[in-house]
Chain A
Amino acid sequence: MPFYRVTSVQMLLSVVLFLGLFFLYLSLGAIHIPIVDILDLLKSYLIGGRELALKEQPLASAIVLHIRLPRACAAILAGGALALAGACTQGLFKNPLASPDVLGVSSGSSFGAVLAIVTGLSVMDPMWLPVFTTVGALVAAGLIYVLASRHSSTQILFLILTGLALSSLLGGARMGLLLMAQQYEMSQFVFWAMGGLDGRVWSQLMWPAPIIAIVSVLLLRESRSLNLLALGEESAHGLGLNVRKTRFKLLMFATLLTAMSIAIAGPIGFIGLMVPHLVRLIVGPAHEKLLPFSAIFGVIFLLICDLLGRWIIAPNELKVGIITSFIGGCYFIGLIIRFQRKGNLA
């Protein structure tokens, strides 16, 4: 039998690991708050609302409820969404190293971000930046899909090639805009492009959160379809799958999840590629297990990376995107060595 046989015990252990990390995340920082105090604070908050929590533990309440908890929730939403989008993209493209970036979402969102910055809208209201990045991501993904499916069926190869072409076009347009930008605008874009969770507030999570939740549930319901697609499109068709409709749905799900994570945290590299790939090695390729485990390990990974970013050069911070890129790069080198030794990447 294959070595992976995941039981509910393993899922339970993953959830326990996540919860431990979550409370550690809320506890650690420039001001250490014991986990017991955090539990008391959350209890007060649940019983008597924000007023009671603020009255009983004013300092802890301000730090946890207004700074660390929204940031932790941002990490949960972005990490889970990116890993799910990655698992979905890898299943859809039948490639264990595909990344949601293939869908052209990143280039679209970067272009949107530059537009919001050079027009000055992002300075007028910080909410414009995530709005522009989301719209940019969705428009780019939509364009790629429409261009790739001009003749009857959308072929995966056309999607990839169109994605590459549009990414190149948008990359050129982005650099052209930046050339005309002021220096502070350029640095604002560079900071955004690093991807980070610092300074996240509840209002920034309000609209991406329900979209991520709904799309995640819908994607989990497509686990069987992803298994069938792994056999190849013709075989999946023979087994009664509406290949064209399913492929469109999955593309939309991966696009929305990636776009929402970019809206929350900017472009964070490698989670969508690395986490599902690693999880597949542990729990196997069946998407009924791969999707939920990818989501939870995406969250765990981003929480750890952000904790590291807050700790390495404390009291200053490293953007989480820098940490994920560094770890992702090392993982990729490890994969290349593994491929040279074993001859396969899966």
Chain B
Amino acid sequence: MSSDLLKVSGLGYKAGAKTLLNDISFSINAGELVGIIGPNGAGKSTLMKCVSGFQGISSGDVFIKQQTLTTLPHLERARHLSYLPQYSEAAFPFSVMETIALGFHVKQQSQIMSAKAIAQQTTETLTLLGIAHLQDRLVTELSGGEKQLVNFARLLVQDAPLMLLDEPTASLDIGHESQLMNVLYQACQKGKSALVAIHNLNTAAEFCDRLILVNQGEIMAEGKPNDVLTKDNIAYLYQDLVVVSQHPRSGNTIVSPYKR
């Protein structure tokens, strides 16, 4: 077996008689930022749930550092793999600091930090994301986008080598979307890895090292962004509803809606 950080092999998932995912196989190496793209209902979120272990799978296997995901104790799994779901709404008015501090829950006994160190690292993470002004607020008072950034901050302090993020930028303005993706990109440059389900194809093309295009529960294409976001693939998925062009600076594919 190779030294992949994450290896998904022949993963299938059925809900009743309906097959939602079929024979999904891919792997992620250390330092890679991989995007999962595809139209609504393609199975991106289901795939993220299955890879995170939250959803049981019907067939195939998920390996983390060559160990089967389901054989890892839960806390141990969370030390290797962090997961930011698409929807995460705090039920009670925890403070932003308290919410982020829950990310330290996974630390081993030998790594347990003082309250002061936790507060310091939490503040640093909030500053990194440009939301230091939120630190004294209650999470129930935040906007959807602010909540998502706070949840991302919690994912960062969890400090797992592999991060799974399901639509992390869905409710963010374009500035915060860029900021979050840049922080994620920098983390991967420093050796972390990330698998991100993402709707915005342009953001995916700009930041991801590799893209996996999922359609109707199966992998339709995989590779470098420009190899996946081809005119043929885009036309197949979105017909003539979008136009494909090239970014003037990076040369990346740009997919835009247009008025017919």
Q: Counting CB contacts under 8 A, is B35 at the interface?
A: no
Binary contact track B74-111/A, C-beta < 8 Å → 1, others 0? 11111100111101111111110011001101100000
Q: Is the CB of B52 within 8 A of A230?
A: no
Contacts of B78 in A (CB 8 A): 238-240
The A/B interface has a contact count, at CB < 8 Å, of 93
Q: How large is the interface on A (under 10, 10 to 19, 20 to 34, 35 or more residues)?
A: 20 to 34
Interface residue from A228, A234, A238, A346 paired with B92 (Cβ < 8 Å)? A346
Contacts of B83 in A (CB 8 A): 234-235, 237-238
Q: Counting CB contacts under 8 A, is A286 at the interface?
A: yes
Q: Is the CB of B99 within 8 A of A231?
A: yes
Given that A96-B92, A231-B88 are known contacts, is A238 also in contact with B75, CB under 8 Å in the complex?
A: no
In the complex, what distance in Å separates the CA atom of A235 from the CA atom of B19?
25
Given that A235-B151, A237-B52, A344-B140 are known contacts, is A96 also in contact with B158, CB under 8 Å in the complex?
A: no
Q: Is the CB of A240 within 8 A of B105?
A: yes
Given that A285-B93, A346-B92 are known contacts, is A240 also in contact with B98, CB under 8 Å in the complex?
A: no
In the complex, what distance in Å separates the CA atom of A238 from the CA atom of B140?
21
- Give chain A interface residues in 216-256, CB to chain B under 8 Å: 224, 227-228, 230-235, 237-243
Given that A95-B91, A230-B94, A346-B92 are known contacts, is A240 also in contact with B106, CB under 8 Å in the complex?
A: yes
Residue from A91, A232, A242 with most neighbouring chain B CB atoms (10 Å): A232
Q: Counting CB contacts under 8 A, is B54 at the interface?
A: yes
- Give chain A interface residues in 244-300, CB to chain B under 8 Å: 280, 284-286
Q: Counting CB contacts under 8 A, is A7 at the interface?
A: no
Given that A1-B136, A231-B88 are known contacts, is A239 also in contact with B106, CB under 8 Å in the complex?
A: yes
Nearest opposing residue in chain B for A224, CB measure: B105
Q: Counting CB contacts under 8 A, is B53 at the interface?
A: yes
Binary contact track B33-54/A, C-beta < 8 Å → 1, others 0? 0000000000000000100111
In the complex, what distance in Å separates the CA atom of A284 from the CA atom of B92?
9
Given that A232-B87, A232-B89, A284-B93 are known contacts, is A237 also in contact with B54, CB under 8 Å in the complex?
A: yes
Contacts of B56 in A (CB 8 A): 152
Interface residue from A94, A224, A234 paired with B91 (Cβ < 8 Å)? A94
Q: Is the CB of A239 within 8 A of B89?
A: no
Interface residue from B49, B87, B158 paired with A239 (Cβ < 8 Å)? B158
Q: Is the CB of A286 within 8 A of B54?
A: no
Interface residue from B74, B76, B87, B92 paired with A230 (Cβ < 8 Å)? B92
Q: Counting CB contacts under 8 A, is B138 at the interface?
A: yes
- Give chain B interface residues in 164-210, CB to chain A under 8 Å: 164
Q: Is the CB of A240 within 8 A of B75?
A: yes
In the complex, what distance in Å separates the CA atom of A333 from the CA atom of B151?
35
Contacts of B49 in A (CB 8 A): 234
Binary contact track A307-346/B, C-beta < 8 Å → 1, others 0? 0000000000000000000000000000000000000101
What total of chain B residues lie within 8 Å of the partner, measured CB to CB? Answer: 37
Contacts of B90 in A (CB 8 A): 230-232
Binary contact track A151-168/B, C-beta < 8 Å → 1, others 0? 010000000000000000
Nearest opposing residue in chain B for A280, CB measure: B92
Contacts of A227 in B (CB 8 A): 94, 98, 102
In the complex, what distance in Å separates the CA atom of A235 from the CA atom of B85?
6
Contacts of B102 in A (CB 8 A): 227-228, 231, 239
Contacts of B84 in A (CB 8 A): 235, 238
Binary contact track A190-231/B, C-beta < 8 Å → 1, others 0? 000000000000000000000000000000000010011011
Residue from B52, B75, B90, B136 with most neighbouring chain A CB atoms (10 Å): B90
Interface residue from A234, A286, A344 paired with B88 (Cβ < 8 Å)? A234
Contacts of A152 in B (CB 8 A): 56
Binary contact track A1-41/B, C-beta < 8 Å → 1, others 0? 11000000000000000000000000000000000000000
Q: In the complex, what's the smallest C-beta–C-beta distance from B83 to chain A, in angstroms?
A: 3
Interface residue from B76, B82, B93 paired with A238 (Cβ < 8 Å)? B82
In the complex, what distance in Å separates the CA atom of A285 from the CA atom of B136?
15
In the complex, what distance in Å separates the CA atom of A95 from the CA atom of B102?
20
Nearest opposing residue in chain B for A234, CB measure: B85
Nearest opposing residue in chain B for A227, CB measure: B102
**Chain A residues proximal to chain B, CB less than 8 Å:** 1-2, 91, 94-96, 152, 224, 227-228, 230-235, 237-243, 280, 284-286, 344, 346
The 6 closest A-B pairs by CB, nearest first: A240-B78, A238-B83, A285-B92, A94-B91, A234-B85, A240-B75
20 pairs across A/B with beta carbons < 8 Å? Answer: A2-B136, A94-B91, A95-B91, A224-B105, A231-B99, A232-B85, A232-B90, A232-B91, A233-B54, A235-B83, A238-B54, A238-B83, A240-B74, A240-B77, A240-B79, A240-B106, A284-B93, A346-B91, A346-B92, A346-B140
